Every structure is written in C-alpha cells, then in structure tokens.
A and B are shown apart, each in its own frame.
Chain A
Amino acid sequence: MTQELDTLYQEIILDHYKNPLYQGLREPFEAEVHHVNPTCGDEVTLRVHLDDVDGVLSVRDVSYDSVGCSISQASASVLADLVIGKPVTEAMAIHAEFLTLMQGKGTVQPDEDVLEDGIAFAGVARFPARVKCALLSWMAWKDATAQSQQGSTHGG
C-alpha cells in the first residue's frame, strides 16, 4: 500500500509542500481572489500581476496565501513556478494541460516539457477525492487572471 501512497505523494510534491515557491502576498497586483474548497475547508487567497513584456501580455507575478493539505499547497507552488514569466496565452495553455491531466482519472500521460514539476500530480488524478485539492489554486489563478484582463481592458 505504501507503493500506492507513493504514487500520490511524489517526492516533488512533498518538496514543494515543505519549501513552497513564491509564497506570500505581494504588490503590485491587478486582481485578488479568495477560493475555498467547501467540503474540506482548504482556502487560498491569490493575487495576479500582469504586464506587457515586449508587447506581449505576460504573467509578472503570482502571489498567494493558503491553508490546506500537502497536495493543495504543493500545487500552488508548482502553479506559480510554471506561469510566472510566461505570456498569458501560454500560461492558459499550461492551465488547460494541467486540467486535462487532473480530470483524466489517471489515463492521461503528462507532457513534461509543458508541465515540468506538474507531472508529479499525475498520480493525484487517480485519487478522485484529491483532484479538487490539486485544482484549488489553479482555478483561483484562472479566475484572478480573467479579472486582471478585464481590469486592464477597462483601465486602457
């Protein structure tokens, strides 16, 4: 059974859990969202800062404050590491790829070139009760990014 458990708790996940990247709430930001997982009580407050980089709208920063299990905490760390510095369109593609992996019930082969450390979550997809843990911060990021884009449109 330890083997089964190890597919869920990959070393990469435990590393991100113990030493999360980009943790904490920072300025500047265009949107801040608060997402909760009502069944377990996990929560994340997440901020997104978008900016033009060489004429391309890009993710300049993702900062967050969260309480939750190892899967949800590690997932926020991996998310921030993956999308910071990327054009928004590319970050959204990564988001879509991660969502497909998590909703694949363990049948989807992850693409390491796209998801990097995110491939460690392939095992989580086999535990239906934990998929929502892995997706909490990703859904928050998508929401905040959409709000940031609306904000930047309004702001000119």
Chain B
Amino acid sequence: MTTQTTTTGLLPGLLPELEVIRADFPILERTLAGGLPLVYLDSANTSQKPQCVIDAMVDHLEHHNANVARAMHQLGAESSEAFEAARDRVAAFIKAPSRDEVIFTKNASEALNLVANTLMWATGDLALGKGDEVVITEMEHHSNIVPWQLLTQRTGATLRWFGLTEEGRLDLSNIDDLITERTKVVSLTWVSNMLGTINPVAEIAARAHEVGALVVVDASQAVPQLPVDVVASGADVLVFTGHKVVGPTGIGVLWGKREVLDQLPPFLGGGEMIETVRMERSTYAGIPHKFEAGTPPIVEAVGLGAAVDYLDHVGMDAIHAHEQAITGYALQGLATVPGLRVLGPLDVTGRGGAISFELDGVHPHDIAQVLDSRGVAVRAGHHCARPAHARFGVQSSTRMSSYLYTTPGEIDALVEALAYTRSYFKVG
C-alpha cells in the first residue's frame, strides 16, 4: 500500500509522525480477505483504538476489577479511584469547570434522551407545555431528532427546525423567527455526521440565551476532531460518545452546567443515585451520581480516560490540522471522479472530516460493496440523518470519514477504488 511518506511534504498540516501514530493502532496492520491492506475510512461511524486504550482496559480487568463506590476492600478502592480518575481526565479534556458536571452515560443517544426525558418531568423554568417551542436543525442525527419529537409530542410543545442551504450549511436567515420568546430549548449538532459542516454553535447559543432558552449541543463528531472548551462553546449541555474519540463503546458523556443539572429531576432510579431510600420516598444524590443509577460502565470509563489522554498527548490542534489537510486532499481527489457529487460544503474551511457523496448510476450500497472488495471501508446508507438526505433529494449516500491515522495514500486508494466501481458497473 502507498503511504503518506511520499506526499507528507506536499500537504501542510499532516501530523508529522503519522507512521508513529499509525503504529499505535494495531488494527491498521491487519489485512483483509485476499491479503489486502485495510483502508479504514469509517471513523465517523466508530474510531479505531490505540494500544494504550486496549492495555488500560485489560490492565483494569486483570488487576483492579471490582464494583465502584460499594466495595469496602482494596480492589473496590482501586476500581473506584480508576473510575473517578477517568472523570477527572474527561473533565480536563473538555475544560469543564467542575468534574461533577461530567456524567457518564451509555452513549450520546442516552445522554440526549436523558436531557429530553428529564425536561419532560421538569418543573419551574425548565418545564415545557403548549405554546413552548423546541428548535433543532435539519442536519441532526436521528438521536438528536427523535428524543425532541417525543418530548414535544408528549408535552404539547412545538418542534421547529433550522433549514439548510444548498451548500449544506445551516440557514440562519430566519434565526429571529425561529428563536423567540417561546423557545425553551435549542438543540443542535456541532459538526454534522453526514455533511461534515461545522456549525456556529456559539453564535446560535448567544441568540438562544437572549431569550432564555436552554442550549443542548451534540458534540459526537466535534469532540473527536476539534479542541473543545465547553464553556466557550456556549452550550448549557453538551454530549458526546466514547467510541468516536478512540475510546471503547458502551460509554458516553453528558456535560452540563451545574445549575442546569441540579434543576433537572433524576432520570433512571436505582443504586448509586440516591441519598437515602425509605419506603415512603427517597432523596437523591448530588451530581454526577444523581444521573448514574446502577453499576456504571467502569472499564469503559477507564478506557475513555486513556483515550482522551492519548488525544491530549497528540494535541487536538494538531489533530484538527491533520483532519483539515486530509479532508482538503479528499475533496480534491473526489472532484476528479466523473459523476460524483459531494453533499455538503466543498470548501474545507468550516467543515469536518466526514464527506458524503453520490455517484451517478451506482447505488451507495453497491459502491460500498465494491470498495470493500478493494479493502476500503466506508459507510453507505442514510447515516441516521434521513431529513438531511431528504433535503438534498437523495435516499442515501456513501460516506468516507478520516481521523488522525488517515494517510493521503488511503485517500488515493479510495479514489482509485471509485474509478474501479464505475468501470465495474459500466457507468460513464
């Protein structure tokens, strides 16, 4: 396989020690059927894991495994310490003012559902009812659509949507019509998982705060590739998932301002989230434990802690620059494929590393199948963003997504495989 070594000098912004980074990810060395090297361009779906994350999880299971906060023995103390240390690391990674504002969930979907559900039960300022409005956008992942549909249907509130421009950016021309005194919640993605668009979250949050609305940010695609400061972002609540930031599956993060989290009622009831339980009624623990009923994902938290340490060590500014360089190179390469149309911004400025596209005459499923036969792993389908696909008049698309280990040579392999796909299906 060709690597970046021949092109590194030509692409400003690439991580200088890309071969060293790649060596940290054991899976990148494997081959596929037919002895083909793996060209993994599906990192927006899930990222690969560096050895240090795998080792941290194995070490925990081999040497420190016990339940947290319940076991009065040495292993219990070690496990609790490892779990809470992971919270400290995540808090530092996203620059959370307080570690207690970092809640571990199962994934980003659960974190968004936690917010939407507890808002349904909220009283006082946060309560929703008829005449109130929730504003989302047409580029949301289904996990940032359906919980708000459920919330508005169940409370009688109205769900409203930011539209998209032809270029795949948020249409902010009617922001003053959309965000009004009636708006109670504005929930949006920071970076689109389909279009790659980076949204002006702080600007929209400022407008939302003028009318007293709560700002929820889905940062599932942002935290992997942008330096994140939760306070500067303008969010009141921000969520992301562990497995897209080189961590394991099974763990997500909900960060929220203390005053918001304190005001929201509990979500799941059970062990760990209580203060005292009596038969007539219970009282609840403070944050973060108030929202962490039951045995949490302990080894997953340990893995996530190691993951954000790894990203910190490489540097999020450097990772962002690398993604920009690769994305720009990919946009140039894809532009050379006849009949290919990119859905989303064509300018690398203000966009992330996910690029969705259509190819005339070949269905995305068939594209993905042919690419797979060449060792190139991409995603095909609606990427859990059907409204955004509908906006562009397509049923599905093919998506390539890069990460800190992606080389220009892998982009070349994709472009070559797309040319092969066209010849295989005899188009053009």
Query: From residue A146, how far is it (CB to closest CB) to chain B in Å?
Result: 27
| With contact pairs A1-B33, A1-B36 given, residues A41 and B370 touching in the complex (Cβ less than 8 Å) | no
Annotate B380-408 by CB proximity to A: 1 below 8 A, 0 otherwise: 11100010010000011000000000000
Contacts of B395 in A (CB 8 A): 41-43, 67-68
Q: From known contacts A5-B370, A69-B363, A130-B369, infer whether A41 and B33 are also in contact, taking CB-CB under 8 Å.
A: no
Question: Is B363 a contact partner of A4 (Cβ separation < 8 A)?
Answer: no
In contact, B369 and A4 (Cβ under 8 angstroms) = no
Q: Tell me whether A39 is interfacial, beta carbon within 8 Å.
A: yes
Verify A2–B365 contact, CB threshold 8 A: no
- B333 to nearest A CB, angstroms? 21
Known contacts A1-B36, A4-B33, A68-B363; decide if A40 and B382 are in contact (CB<8 Å): yes
- Nearest-neighbour CB distance to chain A for B260, whole angstroms, equals 33
CB neighbours (8 Å) of B363 from chain A are 68-70, 73
Q: Does B9 contact A (CB under 8 A)?
A: no
Query: CB-defined interface of A34-62 with B at 8 Å, one 1/0 digit per residue?
Result: 00000111110000000000000000000
Q: A9 to B363, alpha carbons, bound, how many Å? A: 13
User: Which one of B364, B365, B425 has the highest number of Cβ atoms from chain A below 10 Å of its Cβ?
Assistant: B365
Report whether A41 and B396 are in contact in the complex, using a CB–CB cutoff of 8 Å.
yes
A36 to B424, CA, bound (A): 27
Check: A140 CB closer than 8 A to any chain B CB. no
The answer to whether the Cβ of A80 comes within 8 Å of any Cβ in the partner chain is no
Determine whether the beta carbon of A69 is less than 8 Å from that of B364.
yes
A148-B364 Cα distance, complex, nearest whole Å? 34
- A127 CA to B373 CA in the complex, in Å? 12
**Hey, what's the 0/1 contact readout for B297-321 against A, CB within 8 Å counting as 1?**
0000000000000000000000000
Taking the nearest CB of chain B, how far is it from the CB of A4, in angstroms?
Answer: 6
For the complex, give the distance between the alpha carbons of A9 and B395 in Å.
22
In the complex, chain B residues whose CB is within 8 Å of the CB of A4:
33-34, 373
Question: Are B381 and A1 neighbours in the complex by a CB distance under 8 Å?
Answer: no
A69–B34 CB distance below 8 A:
no
For A43, give the chain B residue with the smallest CB separation: B395
Contact A5:B364 (CB < 8 A) given known A41-B386, A130-B369: no
Q: How far is the CA of A4 from the CA of B36 in the complex (A)?
A: 13
A135 interface residue (CB < 8 Å to B): no
Interface membership of A71, Cβ < 8 A: yes
Q: Decide: A5 and B381 in contact? CB cutoff 8 A.
A: no
A151-B9 Cα distance, complex, nearest whole Å: 71
Q: Given the complex, which residues of A lie within 8 Å of B374, measured CB to CB?
A: 1
Q: Is B389 within 8 A of A69, CB to CB?
A: no
- Residue B366 CB within 8 A of the other chain: yes
* A8 interface residue per 8 A CB criterion: yes
Among candidates A2, A14, A41, residue contacting B381 with C-beta atoms closer than 8 Å: A41
Most chain B CB within 10 A, of A1, A5, A67, A127, is at A1
CB–CB B34/A133 < 8 A: no
Query: Is B36 in contact with A71, judged by CB distance below 8 angstroms?
Result: no
Q: Mark B334-369, 1 if CB is under 8 A from A, else 0.
A: 000000000000000000000000000001111001
With CB as the reference atom, state the residue of chain A lying closest to B365: A69
A43 to B424 Cα, complex, angstroms: 25
Residues of A contacting B33 in the complex (Cβ-Cβ under 8 angstroms) = 1, 4
B positions within 8 Å CB-CB of A: 33-34, 36, 363-366, 369-370, 373-374, 380-382, 386, 389, 395-396, 424-425
- Interface positions of A (Cβ within 8 A of B): 1-2, 4-5, 8-9, 14, 39-43, 67-71, 73, 127, 130, 133
Q: Which 6 A-B pairs have the closest CB atoms?
A: A69-B365, A69-B363, A41-B382, A40-B381, A1-B373, A5-B373
Beyond A40-B381, A70-B366, 10 extra complex contacts between A and B, CB < 8 Å: A1-B33, A1-B373, A2-B424, A8-B369, A9-B424, A42-B396, A69-B363, A69-B364, A127-B369, A130-B365
- Residue pairs across A and B with Cβ atoms less than 8 A apart, 28 shown, are A1-B33, A1-B373, A1-B374, A4-B34, A4-B373, A5-B424, A9-B366, A14-B425, A40-B365, A40-B380, A41-B381, A41-B382, A41-B386, A41-B395, A41-B396, A42-B395, A42-B396, A67-B395, A68-B363, A68-B395, A69-B364, A70-B363, A70-B425, A71-B366, A73-B363, A127-B369, A130-B365, A130-B369
